[in-house]
Amino acid sequence: GQQVMQIPQYQHVQEGEDFTTYCNSSTTLSNIQWYKQRPGGHPVFLIQLVKSGEVKKQKRLTFQFGEAKKNSSLHITATQTTDVGTYFCAGSGIKGSGYALNFGKGTSLLVTP
């Protein structure tokens, strides 16, 4: 089963509103990755975070890795309809899982104009 928890499961926002999804692991992660999956599509890599407390930005997207390397967040500023999709975090180095990348259940984002 999944060892990485994500909340919320769904989020419906009006275009222009902000959006945040959170990812938590019970064990320390060596790194965390974020992926986006459009409806009917396959997961597409967004970013990888490796260092404790790391913050990375990609245009309107801000990614954070917690100090304890057990949690992460993705924040989208001023959502657009093109942001629609499911956002997954995936953790590596979870105890007992070697280097396999284990995905959370994802947060599905719906943006209405």
Q: How far is the CB of 16 from another protein (least distance, A)?
A: 27
Contact 106, 86 (CB under 8 A): yes
Among 7, 15, 45, 52, indicate the residue that binds another protein (CB under 8 A).
Answer: 45
Of 18, 20, 19, 21, the C-alpha closest to 6 is 21
Work out whether 93 is an interface residue with another protein (CB under 8 A).
yes
Selected range binding another protein among 13-21, 52-60, 72-80, 99-107, rule: CB under 8 A? 99-107
- Any bridge partners for residue 101, and if so which? 92
Q: How far is the CB of 9 from another protein (least distance, A)?
A: 8
Cα angle vertex 44, ends 22, 113, to 5°? 70
- Any bridge partners for residue 89, and if so which? 34
List contacts with another protein (CB under 8 A): 1-2, 6, 30-31, 33, 35, 42-45, 48, 50, 88, 90, 92-93, 97-106
